[in-house]
Amino acid sequence: EAQVTQNPRYLITVTGKKLTVTCSQNMNHEYMSWYRQDPGLGLRQIYYSMNVEVTDKGDVPEGYKVSRKEKRNFPLILESPSPNQTSLYFCASSRNVVSPYEQYFGPGTRLTVT
């Protein structure tokens, strides 16, 4: 089954404790992206990757890191989480950035930083 998976689905952590949210897709997609969703703000792009070893900043990259060592995986790293990073995070992938462009979203990771 074609899918995007994220782990963990729920995480409660404390300020400053490094964490990683994993994202994996089994569709051989080139393009992967991370978003955060906050009430009234919609989905905001954190980072995206057009292919292995190619990443770029989205609209809200501060406080986050990513890596793309393999095509299927795109982990999101919070080196020193802060309470303002409490949010719902979605990973997404698409075949490429030209056509078609449909992004398939993972199930989401709800992160709470206390």
Partner 1 sequence: GENVEQHPSTLSVQEGDSAVIKCTYSDSASNYFPWYKQELGKRPQLIIDIRSNVGEKKDQRIAVTLNKTAKHFSLHITETQPEDSAVYFCAASRTDSSYKLIFGSGTRLLVRP
> Cis peptide leading into 61, omega within 30 of 0?
no
Nearest Cα residue to 103 out of 94, 111, 112? 94
Burial class for 112, CB neighbours closer than 10 Å (0-12, 13-18, 19+)? middle
Least separation in angstroms between CB 64 and partner 1: 15
Interaction between residue 1 and partner 1 (CB under 8 A)? no
CB count in 10 Å sphere of residue 93: 27
Least separation in angstroms between CB 101 and partner 1: 6
Spatial strand order of the sheet with 4-7 comes to 4-7, 19-25, 76-78, 65-66
Interaction between residue 56 and partner 1 (CB under 8 A)? yes
Tokens 């409660």, located at residue = 12
Binding mask 13-42 for partner 1 (x = CB under 8 A): ------------------x-x-x----xxx
Interaction between residue 90 and partner 1 (CB under 8 A)? yes
**Residue of the chain from 5, 13, 86, 103 that contacts partner 1 (CB under 8 A):** 103
Interaction between residue 58 and partner 1 (CB under 8 A)? yes
Please report, as ranges, the residues that interact with partner 1 according to CB under 8 A.
Answer: 31, 33, 35, 40-45, 48, 50, 56, 58-59, 90, 97-99, 101-103, 105-108
